[in-house]
C-alpha cells in the first residue's frame, strides 16, 4: 500500500493530502454544531479521496519515472488547480460569494500571499481554520519543493549559489545526489515534515500559554511558519497574546531569513554555519538598520515637540518598527500593535514605500518567504563592492572570503537577470491591472503584494485599504496569476518551456 502511494504522480499525492486536510475543519465545525459546514467539508473530502483512489487505480500499471521538470510542472499545477478543489467546500460553506472569489481566496492562501477578499467577521471559525490550514500546507510544500525540486534544477535562488557552477553538483549531500526525483522527494518530505510541524506546534502552545484563543493561536502560528499573514482577527495587533505573543512570533519569523535556521539539506561545500550565513546576517542588518533610521526620524520628531525624554515611547516605537520590518521582510505582513504609535509619534503617516521595499527584497532562499530573496541581493552587493574596488585599484585581484564562497562566479549576473525579470513582471502586472480599471497606486501595490507573496500590503501600504472583492473579474484573474508567478518565480516558469519536458 505504501509503495503504491509513493508511485502516484506528485500532483495526485497533493490532491489526496488536500482531501485528508478537509477532515480537520469538518471535525471542528462538528464540535461547534455548525452542521452545514461539517457536511460540506466532509463530503468534499470524501469525493476528493474517491477521485484520487480511482485515478490511482487507473495509473497503477504505469512504470513511468517522472523527471525533475515533470515535478516542477506538478508544482505549477498544484498552485493553479488545487485551489479549485480547495475552493469547493469554502464556496459551499460560505454561500454568499461567487466561486471566483472563493478560488482567488484559496490561491492567495495556498501561495502564502494571505490577501483576503473578506473581512474577518464575515467568515466562520471553520473557514478561518481552513484558510490558515491551506496557507500552512502551501508553506510546507515550498519547504519540501525547494530541496527536492528547485535545488536540483538550480531554480528558486539556487542558480546564484556555487552548486550551480559546472561540476558544483558534485558537492551535494551524497545521500541525495544519487537519488531519483521520487526518492529525493520522499526523503525530503520525511525529513522536513516533523520539523515544520514541530515548530508550528511549539509556537501554537507558546501562544496559548500567552493567553491567545486556540483558533487565533493556531492561525497565527501556522501563518508565521508559512509567512502567509493569515489572521482570523485582522492581525496579531488584535490578538489577546499582546507583547509576549509578538515576541514569540518575532523569534519564529527568523526561520524565514535563511534555510540554515532549520535545515542544511541544500548546503554544499563547507559545513553549515548560521553565524557566517550571508542571508541571515543581511536580514538581521536590515532588521536593525531600517528601524534605526525610523527611530532617528522618530527622535527628531520628538525633539521638535520637546518630548525627547519620553523613553517609553521610544521603546514602543523601536519594538513596533523592528517587528514590522522583520514581518514584511519575511513577507509575512503582520503589524505590531506599537506600529501605529511608531508612525504617529513622528508623523510618519505613509510607510507604504518602506513596506513595499522590504517585501520586494524578501527572505531567504528555500524558505517560505517570497520576494527577490536576500541571497540575490547579497550577490549584487558583492558585485557592486568589487566594482568600486576596481575603480580605486584597477589592477587589484578579488579576494574570495569565506562568507562569499556560497555565491557562484557569475552569481551577480544571474541575480541581475532575475531582478530584471522581476521588474518586468511587476511592470506587466501593473499595466494589466490598470487596463482592468485599477488605479495606478493600487495597481503597484497589488502587483508588489502578489509577486512578493505579501498580501497584507493591500491593507497597509496605502492610506486606505484596497478592497479586493470590489475588483472586476479580469483584475482578479490577473492578481491570481501574479500570485502564482510570484510563488514559483519567473525562472521556474521559463524552465517549463524546455523542449525536453514537452517532447516526452
For the record, the C-alpha cell of 180 comes out as 531519483
Chain Cα centroid distance, residue 63: 34
Tell me whether residue 234 is exposed, middle or buried, using C-beta atoms within 10 angstroms of its C-beta: 0 to 12, 13 to 18, 19 or more: middle
Mean pLDDT, rounded, of the chain: 86
Which has the closest alpha carbon to 282: 387, 380, 181?
A: 380
Confidence of residue 346 (pLDDT cuts 50, 70, 90): low
* Rounded average pLDDT over 474-490: 94
What confidence score (pLDDT) does residue 176 get? Answer: 43
- Give the span between the Cα atoms of 438 and 421, in whole angstroms: 23
For residue 351, what are the contacts with CB-CB under 8 A and spacing of at least 6?
343, 460
Give the three-state DSSP class for 329: helix
Q: Cα separation of 31 and 296, whole Å?
A: 51
397 or 214: which carries more pLDDT confidence? 214
Q: Above pLDDT 70, what percent of the chain?
A: 85
Angle in degrees, CA 460, 419, 351, rounded to 5: 20
Q: Please, are residues 257 and 219 in contact by the beta-carbon 8 Å criterion?
A: no
Q: Where are the alpha helices (DSSP H) in 332-410?
A: 339-346, 352-361, 374-392
Could you report the per-residue pLDDT of 300-328, keeping only the tens digit for each?
655 555 555 567 777 888 898 899 999 99
The alpha carbon torsion through 246, 250, 255, 258 (nearest 10 deg) reads: 150
Cell triple for 246: 509578538
Closest CA to 109 of 264, 236, 235, 228: 228
Number of CB atoms found within 10 A of residue 95's CB: 9
- pLDDT tens track for 265-309: 776 544 457 878 889 999 999 999 888 887 776 566 555 555 555
Given the C-alpha cell 491591472, which residue does it identify?
A: 433
Cα–Cα distances in Å, from 478 out to 18, 191, 431, 435, 474? Answer: 25, 36, 10, 10, 6
Collapse the DSSP code of 398 into the 3-class scheme (helix H, G, I; strand E, B; otherwise coil) and give the result.
Answer: coil
Range with the lowest mean pLDDT among 9-18, 53-62, 404-413?
A: 404-413
The helix, strand and coil proportions of the chain, stated in percent and rounded to the nearest 5, come to: 70, 0, 30
For residues 362-379, average pLDDT: 91
Runs of H (alpha helix) within 111-180:
125-145, 174-177
Q: What are 143's three cell numbers?
A: 519547504
Amino acid 437: pLDDT: 93
Residue in the structure block whose three cell numbers are 471559525: 125
Instruction: Answer yes or no: are the C-beta atoms of 140 and 226 closer than 8 Å.
Output: yes
Amino acid at each position: 500500500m505504501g509503495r503504491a502511494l509513493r508511485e502516484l504522480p506528485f500532483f495526485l499525492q497533493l490532491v489526496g493530502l488536500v482531501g485528508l486536510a478537509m477532515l480537520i475543519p469538518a471535525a471542528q465545525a462538528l464540535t461547534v454544531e455548525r452542521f452545514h459546514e461539517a457536511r460540506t467539508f466532509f463530503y468534499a473530502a470524501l469525493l476528493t479521496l474517491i477521485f484520487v483512489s480511482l485515478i490511482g487505480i487507473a495509473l497503477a500499471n504505469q512504470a513511468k519515472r517522472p523527471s525533475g521538470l515533470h515535478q516542477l510542472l506538478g508544482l505549477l499545477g498544484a498552485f493553479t488547480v488545487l485551489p479549485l478543489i480547495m475552493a469547493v467546500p469554502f464556496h459551499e460553506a460560505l454561500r454568499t460569494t461567487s466561486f471566483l472569489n472563493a478560488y482567488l481566496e484559496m490561491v492567495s492562501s495556498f501561495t502564502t500571499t494571505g490577501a483576503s477578499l473578506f473581512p474577518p467577521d464575515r467568515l466562520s471559525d471553520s473557514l478561518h481554520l481552513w484558510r490558515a490550514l491551506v496557507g500552512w500546507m502551501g508553506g510546507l510544500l515550498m519547504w519540501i519543493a525547494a530541496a527536492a525540486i528547485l535545488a536540483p534544477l538550480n531554480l528558486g535562488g539556487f542558480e546564484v549559489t556555487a552548486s550551480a557552477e559546472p561540476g558544483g553538483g558534485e558537492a551535494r549531500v551524497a545521500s541525495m545526489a544519487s537519488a531519483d526525483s521520487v526518492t529525493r522527494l520522499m526523503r525530503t518530505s520525511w525529513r522536513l515534515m516533523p520539523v515544520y510541524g514541530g515548530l508550528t506546534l511549539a509556537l501554537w502552545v507558546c501562544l496559548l500559554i500567552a493567553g491567545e484563543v486556540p483558533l487565533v493561536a493556531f492561525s497565527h502560528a501556522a501563518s508565521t511558519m508559512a509567512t502567509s499573514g493569515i489572521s482570523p482577527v485582522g492581525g496579531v495587533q488584535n490578538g489577546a497574546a499582546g507583547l509576549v505573543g509578538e515576541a514569540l512570533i518575532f523569534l519564529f519569523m527568523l526561520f524565514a531569513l535563511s534555510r540554515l535556521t532549520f535545515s542544511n539539506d541544500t548546503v554544499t561545500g563547507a559545513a553549515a554555519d548560521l553565524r557566517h550565513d550571508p542571508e541571515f546576517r543581511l536580514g538581521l542588518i536590515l532588521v536593525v538598520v531600517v528601524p534605526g533610521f525610523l527611530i532617528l526620524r522618530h527622535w527628531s520628531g520628538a525633539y521638535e515637540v520637546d518630548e525627547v525624554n519620553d523613553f517609553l515611547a521610544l521603546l514602543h516605537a523601536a519594538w513596533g518598527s523592528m517587528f514590522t520590518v522583520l514581518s514584511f521582510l519575511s513577507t509575512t505582513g503582520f503589524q505590531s500593535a506599537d506600529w501605529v504609535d511608531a508612525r504617529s509619534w513622528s508623523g510618519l503617516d505613509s510607510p507604504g514605500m518602506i513596506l513595499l521595499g522590504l517585501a520586494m527584497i524578501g527572505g531567504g532562499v528555500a524558505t517560505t518567504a517570497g520576494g527577490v530573496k536576500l541571497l540575490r541581493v547579497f550577490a549584487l552587493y558583492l558585485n557592486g563592492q568589487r566594482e568600486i574596488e576596481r575603480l580605486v585599484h584597477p589592477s587589484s585581484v578579488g579576494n574570495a572570503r569565506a562568507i562569499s564562497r556560497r555565491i557562484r562566479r557569475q552569481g551577480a549576473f544571474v541575480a541581475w537577470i532575475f531582478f530584471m525579470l522581476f521588474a518586468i513582471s511587476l511592470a506587466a502586472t501593473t499595466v494589466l491591472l490598470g487596463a482592468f480599471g485599477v488605479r495606478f497606486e493600487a495597481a503597484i501595490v497589488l502587483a508588489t503584494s502578489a509577486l512578493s507573496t505579501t498580501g497584507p500590503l493591500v491593507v497597509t501600504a496605502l492610506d486606505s485599504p484596497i478592497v479586493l472583492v470590489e475588483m472586476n473579474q479580469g483584475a482578479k484573474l490577473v492578481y491570481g496569476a501574479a500570485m502564482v508567478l510570484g510563488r514559483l518565480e519567473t525562472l521556474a516558469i521559463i524552465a517549463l518551456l524546455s523542449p525536453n519536458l514537452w517532447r516526452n
